[in-house]
Amino acid sequence: MGKKALELLKTKCDEKNYQRLIALNNQKLIDFVAKYVEHCKPKSVFVCTDAEEDAEYIRNKSIENGEEKRLTITGHTIHYDGYNDQARDKENTRYLLPSGTDIGPLNAVEKEKGLKKIHEILKNIMEGKEMFVCFFCLGPVNSPFSIPACQLTDSAYVAHSELILYRRGYEEFKRQCPENFFKVVHSAGALENAVSKNVDERRVYIDLENYIVYSTNTQYAGNTVGFKKLSLRMAIYKAAQEDWLAEHMLIMGIHGPGGRTTYLTGAFPSMCGKTSTAMVKGETIVGDDLAYLRNINGKAYTVNVECGIFGIIQDVNPQDDPLIWEVLNKPGDVIFSNVLVTDENIPYWLGDGREVPEKGVSFSGEWVKGKKDSKGNPIPHAHKNARYTVGLYGLKNCDKELDNPQGIEIKGVIYGGRDSDTSCPVQEAFDWDHGVITMGAALESETTAATLGKEGVRVFNPMSNIDFVSIPLGRYISKHLEFGKGMDNPPSIFSVNYFLKDKQGKYMNAMQDKRIWLKWMDLRVNGDAEAIKTPVGYIPKYEDLKRLFKEVLDKDYSEEEYIEQFTLRIPENIKRVERIIDTYRTKVSDTPAILFDILEEQKQRLEEVRKSKGDYVSPASL
C-alpha cells in the first residue's frame, strides 16, 4: 500500500500513535495495519508500546467500555462473556486451505471462500470503536525462540488479557524488523450489554501460509486471544518447516539432591492432571500450557511461549491450590471471568470451598439461589469454564529461568492420560523412539461422566495435541522422531497415570503421590536410580519409592501397594496396542512405518512374558 497506507493511518491516528508505527520501520506491518483500518473502519487507532502507561490506558478503557468492572481487591476485575460465548468454538474454528490441499481430517474451508466470508463479516465492523494495535513476543525477547506477534482488536478486555499473558513486544519488533510475524485480526462485533451480540456470526479462521488468525463476534479468550491455541496451530506449521517443535506442554523444575534443578516438559489431555502437576508442591513452574522446543548444540531446550496463566478456576481452593489462591486474593493484575460477583464486589466460583452467596451477578446476569434456565434446569452461580488470568511472576513458585532467552535444557518429557485399568503410575521408555511412539503417539484418555455424560470412553489424543495439529498427523509424528535423532542424548520419555483403579473402583494413587513419580524421574535422568525392565518400559524399584515416600510425604509405602500399582496388566496392554495400531491403519494415511514396527515389537514382548508368567505379572517377578 505504501504511501496510501501512511495517508490512511494519519487520518485515524493522532501524531503520537502515528509516529509509534513509523518508528518500527516495517512496511509489511504498516500495510497490515492499514489494510484492516481501511476495511474495519475504526473511529481511531491506539498503538500500544511496551510502556506501562500504555497498558494502564488499555486497562482503563476496558472499564470505561464496560467490558470489565473493578472488584474490591486493587487491580482485580471481572469480565463476562456472552451467555452463548463461554468456550472455544470448535465448529467454527477452521483452517483456510488452498484448493486441493490435504492435511488430514481437519476442520477446514477452501481458502478463497473462507477469506471472502471473513472479510464480509469484518467489513466496517469497528465503526465507532477504537482499534488497539498490540505487539507481543512469543517466547522470551531477544531469543532464538522469539516469534514477533501483532494483534489488532477492538476489545480492550482482549488486549488487557494479552498484556498479562505475553511478553510485551514493541521493542522486539523494532529490533527484529520481521518480514514474517504472527498476526491476529479480531473484533468483538456489535455489543449488547458489553458482550458480543451476533454470536451466530462467530468465526475463527486460521491462514497457515500467511500466519494470520481472524476472529469475529466473540469475546471468550480462547477464541480471541490469538496467541494461545490459535497461534499454536501456526507454530506447529512453522516448526515443521524449520525442524523444531511447538507443543501443548507444561514446563517445570524438579528440585533434587544437592540443590540441582531438573527441567521436564509434559503433555496431558484435559482433566488429566496437567495444571496440578505444573503447580505441584515443592517444585517450580516455568509454564502450564505452551512450549517451543529446539535442538541447540545437540541438546533439547525449551521456553514458555507465555508468561501468564489463563486457567480454569473451578475447584481452586486454599487447601488444594494455596499458591494460586494467594495470587487470587492479593493486589495485582488479575482478571476473573464468568464467576459470581456479590454486591460487595467479591468473586465466588464453583468449588472454592466457601458458602455460596444468596445472590449476585454471574454469567447468566442477575443471579439468585434457585435460578433456572428456560428448560427448568438449575443455573449454577458460576460457569464451569469460568477462568482467571494472572501473570506467572506473582506466583511464589515461579521459576527463575522463565525469561532465560537461551531457553532451559530439558532432561525429560512426560505424557499423561486418564487410564483406569492399564498403565502403571509411572514408567520410562526404553529410548526416544519408543517413548514418542508408545507414550506420545499412542496417548489416549478416558472420558469422565462430567465431560461427555459417559465414562470410560477412550479418546485418542497423540501428544495431547490432536485439536491443534495443523500438518498431517503422520508427518507430525515423524518430526518428533527426527527431533530426537539430532541429539547426542535426547531427553528421557516418561508416562504417568494418576487414575489407575483397583477392582473395587477406588483410585490407587493419592493426589500428592505425583510428587513421588516426579522425584523418581529426577533420579532416573541424573543416573541416581536403577529400574526394572518390563515389556513396556522401565519401572521404579520398590526400595527407591519407599524411601521417596518417606522423605517427601512422610508416608509409609508398603510393598503390597507397590505390587498392586506396578503389576504388569498384559491383556489390557495388548488391547491398547491393538487399538492404537488399528487407529493408525484406518485413520492416518501417512503413518511412518516405524510406528507399526515399535508397537508390534511391544505386543510381541508382552505375549512372550504372558506365556511364561500369565496375564498379571508382579514387578517382583520381572
Measure the CA–CA gap between 474 and 591, rounded to whole angstroms.
4
> In whole numbers, what is the pLDDT of the chain averaged over residues?
95
Together in a domain, 100 and 146? yes
Evaluate the CA torsion angle 312, 313, 319, 324 in order and state its sign.
positive
Considering 243, 260, 275, which residue would you say is the last residue of a domain?
Answer: 243
**pTM of the full predicted structure?**
0.95
pLDDT of residue 452: 41
Assigned domain for 135 exists: yes
Asked whether the predicted pLDDT for residue 252 surpasses 90, the reply is yes
Enclosing domain of residue 272? 246-305+411-615
Q: Same domain for 214 and 259?
A: no
Output the pLDDT for position 450. 44
- Whether 539 is covered by a domain: the verdict is yes
pLDDT tens per residue, range 554-608: 999 999 999 999 999 999 999 999 999 999 999 998 999 999 999 999 999 999 9
C-alpha cell at 186: 479480531
The answer to which of 235-244, 447-456, 519-528 has the lowest mean pLDDT is 447-456
pLDDT at residue 446 tops 50 = yes
More confident residue, 2 or 158: 158
Give the chain's domain count. 3
What pLDDT, in 10s, does the model give residues 524-542? Answer: 999 999 999 999 999 999 9
C-alpha cell read off for 383: 460457569
Q: What's the CATH number where 127 sits? A: 3.40.449.10
d(CA 187, CA 132): 10
In terms of domains, do 425 and 534 share one?
yes
Q: How far apart are CA 590 and CA 102, in angstroms?
A: 11
Identify whether residues 503 and 555 lie together within a single domain: yes
Q: What is residue 611's three-state secondary structure?
A: helix
pLDDT in the model for residue 87: 86
Q: Which of 390, 424, 450 is the last residue of a domain?
A: 390
Same structural domain, 299 and 327: no
pLDDT for res 64 = 97
CATH number assigned to the domain comprising residue 321: 2.170.8.10
> Average of pLDDT values for 504-510?
93
Is residue 78 domain-resident?
Answer: no
**Statement to judge: residues 259 and 377 lie in one domain:** no
Residue 399 lies in a domain: no
* Claim to verify: residue 506 and residue 478 sit in the same structural domain: yes
pLDDT digits (tens, 9 = 90+) for 404-413: 999 999 999 9
Kindly state the average pLDDT of the residues 373-394: 94
* Rounded average pLDDT over 505-528: 96
Confidence at residue 451, expressed as pLDDT on a 0 to 100 scale: 43
Let me know if residue 72 belongs to a domain.
Answer: no
Q: Is 74 inside a domain boundary?
A: no
Domain holding 461: CATH number?
3.90.228.20
Based on the domain organization, do 223 and 262 belong to the same domain? Answer: no
In this prediction, residue 448 carries a pLDDT of: 64
Tell me if 30 is assigned to some domain.
yes
Residues acting as catalytic residues = 272
Q: What is the 3-state secondary structure (H, E, C) of 394-445?
A: HCCCECCCCCCCCCEECCEEEEECCCCCCCCCEEECCCHHHHHHHHHHCCEE
Let me know whether 127 and 250 are in one domain.
no
* pLDDT recorded at residue 1: 58
Are 226 and 275 part of one and the same domain? no
Residues 250, 201 share a domain: no
Least trusted range by pLDDT, from 10-19, 258-267, 402-411, 452-461: 452-461
In a domain, 316, yes or no: yes
DSSP 509-533: S-GGGHHHHHHHHHHHHTT---EEE
Q: Residues of the chain with pLDDT > 70: what percent?
A: 98
- 34-43: average pLDDT: 97
pLDDT at 4: 87
Contact 367, 340 (CB under 8 A): yes
Domain boundary among 243, 259, 274: 243
For residues 220 and 112, state if they share a domain: yes
Please give the average per-residue pLDDT across 348-373, as a whole number. Answer: 95
Rounded to an integer, what distance in angstroms lies between the CA atom of residue 165 and that of residue 144? Answer: 20
At residue 104, the pLDDT reads: 64
